[in-house]
Chain A
Amino acid sequence: MIASAAAVVTALLLGAGLTWAVERLFARSGWDAGPTRGAELRGGLDLPNADRWLLPAGPVVALAGVALATVVVPFGPGLIGRDLGIGLFYVIVVVDFVVLGLALAGWGANTPDSVEAFYRIVAQLVAYVVPLGLAYVGVVMMARSLSTVTVVEAQRDLWFVVLQPLGFLLYLVTGLMQSYRAPFLEPFADSIGGGVLGVTGGWSALLWRVALAGVLFVVAAIGAVLYLGGPSGSWLPGWAWMLAKTYALMALMLGLGRCVRPLSTAGMLALSWKVLIPAGLVNVLLVGGLILLGVGPRA
């Protein structure tokens, strides 16, 4: 048990570090850096009104959520922390802890900017959580299971991105929202001084950096599992395929996100209710039709 926990933490740290490298590749000067903005790593900031319990609890809660989510990501045949029967649902639930941690730190720091960031984070949660669930539902309907391993096996013949392109697009957009990357980086915008990241320093800034890079890594890895067949593939070993797909998806998300003007929180909510949720319902309908027609993996 301890060995598998260490393996999961190592995977998370490696993934977060490589994610950080990919992000640096995509960063340009003059762009709002969002969650990748530089924070003071050497010393803590002096916040006179900060809540002395909630502020340090934030990064720990967020990092715990990301580490727990890594448990069910299959990095290859046998390379999985634990194959849970309700793995995908577990991922949705556990990544919510990142939002909780950001909310704790935003409120706890008690500066006008960080409290504003707390409001934006909660509003962003409301914006993405329903379309994200709908993006999972299409895959779960076809694979007939919530387990990540079974979802990967169901895509042995054909990746789900071919069968459900609409769901894949939906996942790209909601995944960007979930990991706070451009164009959905309003909670970390420069206009509020970086939000939560603007009020952290020292070890908590380091933990935030790992947690925020890790959440993008987990989102991309789960996206690769859901739509790109995960670790399955010929010639190369499973883990190489998984990492290649994860980083390709990550680069696609970051690159596409930088092509669009950043949205305000109200814009995100409007996008969610007017475009993403209807698109998700249409996707569920299309997938149901495909299943009735007999397309997709055999049960």
Chain B
Amino acid sequence: MTAAFELTAFGVCASIAVAGALGMTTTMSMFRSGIFLMASFIGVAGLFILLSADLIGLLQVMMYIGGFLVMILFMVLVMHDPGGAMMAGMDMAPLERWSSLGLVPRQPSEAGQDGHRQGEAGDQATATGHGGHAEPDEPRQGSEAHGEQAPAHDGAANAMPHEAHGGHGEHAARQHGHASHEHEHGGGHGGMDMGEMDMSMVTPVRPLAAWLALGVGIVLVGMLVLRPAWSVSDALPDPDSARRVGHLLMDKYMVAFEGAGFLILIGVFGAVLLARPSAYPDDASRGARVAVDAKPEPIRGDRLAPQAGADRTAGHASGHDTHHQHGGDAG
């Protein structure tokens, strides 16, 4: 492995890891958030492989691709607006705009159409204003990235009250008393009829959180840079490290290995017990479940566009019939 290749690989993997994590926390779409997190983990897996711990790297990819697809499925089940279609047209910080690129805003109900248009125009203005800002926000390796990250967090912190107001108007204003000087920004989206849902994805303490994370990052990186270097050993690890790890797992660390297996077993049992529909008639969750099944909650302003390829709508219904017959026969 040449030095140039190693540097390039490190740069690519590290920027995927950090940019994926940033995208995870800033994008408007929950689905994309999961995909960004998966990208971040694949980047870290690349770093593992670069550190010649290839078994851990592959294990990480395997666990997280399967695991996160299931997690995304749950998010889609549980979230309002998992695709971010309602949030996509709103006021966003530059970083959020970058990580939500390509999302198609869904048109809200007619009542809010005018306000929305107006708001979009405003968005365009801010977008051009911050246009030069969005590109350098993507962090790179090393301590340089740190200085660049500061404006991103700043921007995110400042944009918080805009977004909360846009989504919710009065209710949000009540929640963030400290942000009252931002009242006038609520005007653009005031006409949108979002119902009673609070669409904002972040809590009112978001500026605090941004500063906290920034502080922790600065302190950690500063400590790393200022600290005298660790004594680095030049020895090369065994290229077939999987064999060595396997021997250790079955020999010296057998108890830890069995403990991890037991933990997984307990986890599976716990998850099944917690999530299974209850059989007791007086259980509140059962009542909630029956109510949900009987009358699905409509999402307001939810207008799906007509299906692409309308020519197969005719064959669709008959296809469904045969499909059900198949299911019946198999069962």
The answer on direct contact between A and B (beta carbons under 8 Å) is yes
**A positions within 8 Å CB-CB of B:** 45-54, 84-86, 89-90, 92-93, 96-97, 99-100, 103-104, 107, 109-113, 119, 122, 125-126, 129, 146, 189-193, 198-199, 261-264, 266-267
* A-contacting residues, B64-107, CB 8 Å: 65-66, 69-70, 72-73, 83, 85, 101-104, 106
A-B contact pairs, 19 of them (CB 8 A): A49-B104, A52-B102, A53-B101, A54-B32, A84-B54, A85-B240, A86-B58, A89-B58, A96-B66, A99-B65, A99-B66, A104-B35, A107-B83, A122-B72, A122-B73, A126-B66, A126-B70, A193-B309, A267-B330
When C-beta atoms are compared, the residue in chain A nearest to B68 turns out to be: A100
Residues on A with beta carbons closer than 8 Å to the beta carbon of B54:
84-86
User: Chain B interface residue count: which class?
Assistant: 35 or more
Q: A100-B38, A146-B242 are in contact. Are A267 and B58 (CB under 8 A)?
A: no
When C-beta atoms are compared, the residue in chain A nearest to B241 turns out to be: A85
When C-beta atoms are compared, the residue in chain B nearest to A89 turns out to be: B58
Evaluate contact between A86 and B55: CB separation under 8 angstroms: yes
What distance in Å separates the Cβ of B40 from its nearest Cβ neighbour in chain A? Answer: 14
A to B contact number (C-beta, < 8 Å): 116
Residues on A with beta carbons closer than 8 Å to the beta carbon of B304:
49, 112
When C-beta atoms are compared, the residue in chain B nearest to A40 turns out to be: B309
What distance in Å separates the Cβ of B239 from its nearest Cβ neighbour in chain A? Answer: 7
* A-contacting residues, B316-331, CB 8 Å: 316, 319-320, 322-323, 326-327, 329-331
Evaluate contact between B305 and A92: CB separation under 8 angstroms: no
B312 lies within 8 A of chain A by Cβ: yes
Evaluate contact between A193 and B330: CB separation under 8 angstroms: no
- Cα(A92)–Cα(B17), bound, Å: 23
Q: A52-B104, A86-B55, A198-B312 are in contact. Are A264 and B73 (CB under 8 A)?
A: no
Residues on A with beta carbons closer than 8 Å to the beta carbon of B58:
86, 89-90, 93
What distance in Å separates the Cβ of B304 from its nearest Cβ neighbour in chain A? Answer: 7
B61 lies within 8 A of chain A by Cβ: yes
When C-beta atoms are compared, the residue in chain A nearest to B58 turns out to be: A93
When C-beta atoms are compared, the residue in chain A nearest to B238 turns out to be: A85
Given contacts A84-B54, A85-B239, A189-B319, 19 further A-B contacts (CB under 8 A): A51-B103, A53-B101, A93-B62, A93-B65, A100-B38, A100-B65, A112-B304, A113-B307, A122-B69, A125-B69, A126-B70, A190-B315, A190-B319, A198-B309, A261-B326, A261-B330, A264-B323, A264-B326, A267-B331
B308 lies within 8 A of chain A by Cβ: yes
What distance in Å separates the Cβ of B232 from its nearest Cβ neighbour in chain A? Answer: 25
Contact of A92 among B38, B62, B239, B320 (CB under 8 A): B62
Evaluate contact between B35 and A54: CB separation under 8 angstroms: yes
Residues on B with beta carbons closer than 8 Å to the beta carbon of A85:
54, 239-240, 242-243
